[in-house]
Structure 1
């Protein structure tokens, strides 16, 4: 099910058939080095099911990002819903071979449009590894405001923490 479309991308609810392509980014140590590390391939189907269930329950989730020209899943972008649909975390991860093409910015903008349509989302937050200057640039370009340096247990480090209020 497609939830958003841009000039070059489709954002869709994850399906189990996406598991092989998802390994290109979530299963890649280099791509996930600045997060909490690569996801073991055996856990990817369960993650896809989790995000599908999240969408069905909340109307918002992390989505598969499909490049229109190739039809391939090249990344993931969307929202982790933790304790409440009111405050969600924006994330995006993309296959290494497509970095530098503006896809993360394009997908993140589409995600922000999805969140704005849901009246229940009042705050979106995000963080990124201090060395990931590309992600910081994207967040600033989208209008996120730097709040503080914050400790993240999953990455075992302090990271810049951003928010956007609706």
Structure 2
């Protein structure tokens, strides 16, 4: 599946094998995983498994997270985009589309999550014609909370996610 969405500073495209080193840098960083259950990966084979899992989502569900590429440097910065969640019962939902992002630490604080997230919401509503999108953050993740609000999602409520033993926040945006 081919994706190619451009924003002012970013290219959002399908994940590829060439993203492996960047994916390992992203998901092996404990700071990146601070609000994700503190489970950073330790081997590059685990990063390969993440990429293959996303590619499988493209095939099975028609959508999955996209690689975030810096248009100026062509550097892998992380991932962003839409995903059809069917793995978890999340706040009473078992099948829903969510928007999310995860960036390599050196790219934090520059508005890239917001920029890529807005493009993902536009794609979900204008191309996919979805009625709504959801998102979650760990309750204490203020940066992600703020990014979701800037993207246009609305905070709905806090809930406890038993599977990961985490206090999370639930967000929603409707296609109007």
Common topology (TM > 0.5): yes
- Equivalent residue for 2:134, pick from 113, 116, 125: 125
Deviation at 1:35, TM superposition (A): 0.7
Residue in structure 2 matched with residue 15 of structure 1 by the alignment: 16
Residue 101 (1) aligns with residue 110 (2)? yes
Q: Distance in 1 between matches of 2:4 and 2:106?
A: 25
Please, which runs of 5 or more residues in structure 2 have no aligned partner? 88-94
- Cα pair distance change 1:135/1:12, threshold 3 Å: same
- Equivalent residue for 1:112, pick from 121, 145, 156: 121
Aligned to 1:162, what secondary structure does the other structure show? strand
Contact preservation (8 Å) 2:10, 2:70: yes
Residue 157 (1) aligns with residue 166 (2)? yes
Please, which runs of 5 or more residues in structure 1 have no aligned partner? none
Aligned to 1:24, what secondary structure does the other structure show? helix
- Following TM superposition, where does structure 1 have runs of at least 4 consecutive aligned residues deviating by more than 6 angstroms? none
Residue in structure 2 matched with residue 31 of structure 1 by the alignment: 32
Contact preservation (8 Å) 1:89, 1:126: yes
Residue in structure 1 matched with residue 79 of structure 2 by the alignment: 76
Aligned to 1:14, what secondary structure does the other structure show? coil
TM-score (norm 1): 0.89
Q: How many residues align?
A: 165
Deviation at 1:136, TM superposition (A): 0.8
Residue in structure 1 matched with residue 92 of structure 2 by the alignment: none
Q: Distance in 1 between matches of 2:113 and 2:144?
A: 8
Aligned to 1:77, what secondary structure does the other structure show? strand
Instruction: Please give the per-residue CA displacement for 1:69-92, whole angstroms capped at 9, x wherever unaligned.
Output: 1111111111232239x7212111
Contact preservation (8 Å) 1:61, 1:80: yes
Deviation at 1:109, TM superposition (A): 0.8
- Cα pair distance change 1:118/1:20, threshold 3 Å: same
Deviation at 1:154, TM superposition (A): 4.9
Contact preservation (8 Å) 2:159, 2:170: yes
- Over the residues paired in the alignment, what is the CA RMSD in angstroms? 2.0
